[in-house]
């Protein structure tokens, strides 16, 4: 098992190889927010030590494994992504839905559950390795859950 990450979080103890990745603040990225708007985030600083951006780690690993991926830079990777998913080029825009796609999904059938929707995240303060490694976020989590420690604890 290979672990690529920043804080040796869940699963790292089972890994055969641990590769130090950059935190989200240390790499640029493209993401789609909950309303479907494509956004770009720029890195705020460089990763420490031997840490690298995830794409660079995977690209180097592909070369070692004899299955070299066809990009050598973030720009080349983005071009490949944009070719496969052109809508990701349209930053800060919401892609219009397609009625035919909805109809195709509906045609697949299925049995929707009757249970009410519930939040899939139980503790928004501890959703990622960086937050889980933070004493401040742990305190926020305790405050939100009503499990604040007393002076005797």
What local confidence, expressed as pLDDT, does residue 151 receive? 64
Residue that the structure tokens 């070299």 belong to: 68
Residue 47 domain flag = yes
Is residue 135 pLDDT above 90, yes or no? yes
Taking 3-state DSSP, the helix, strand and coil percentages for the chain, each rounded to the nearest 5, stand at 40, 15, 50
Q: Which domain holds residue 76?
A: 2-96
Number of domain units in the chain: 1
Token pair recorded at residue 152: 């005797």
Residues above pLDDT 70, as percent of the chain: 96
Residue 151 domain flag = no
What local confidence, expressed as pLDDT, does residue 111 receive? 86
CA dist 96 and 127 (Å) reads 30
Residue 134 domain flag = no
Q: What is the pLDDT of residues 42-90, one digit of tens each?
A: 999 999 999 999 999 999 999 999 999 999 999 999 999 999 999 999 9
What local confidence, expressed as pLDDT, does residue 122 receive? 87
Q: What pTM did the predictor assign?
A: 0.72
**Residue 119 to residues 112, 116, 131, 134, 147, Cα–Cα distance (Å):** 17, 10, 19, 23, 20
């Amino acid at each position: 098992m290979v672990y690529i990450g920043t804080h040796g979080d869940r699963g790292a103890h089972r890994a055969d190889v641990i590769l130090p990745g950059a935190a989200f603040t240390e790499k640029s990225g493209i993401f789609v927010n909950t309303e479907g708007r494509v956004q770009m985030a720029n890195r705020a600083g460089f990763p420490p030590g031997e840490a690298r951006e995830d794409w660079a780690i995977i690209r180097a690993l592909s070369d070692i494994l004899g299955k070299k991926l066809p990009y050598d830079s973030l720009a080349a990777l983005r071009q490949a992504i944009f070719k496969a998913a052109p809508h990701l080029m349209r930053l800060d825009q919401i892609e219009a839905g397609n009625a035919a796609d909805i109809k195709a999904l509906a045609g697949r059938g299925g049995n929707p559950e009757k249970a009410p929707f519930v939040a899939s995240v139980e503790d928004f303060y501890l959703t990622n390795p960086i937050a889980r490694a933070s004493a401040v976020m742990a305190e926020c989590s305790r405050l939100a859950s009503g499990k604040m420690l007393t002076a005797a604890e």
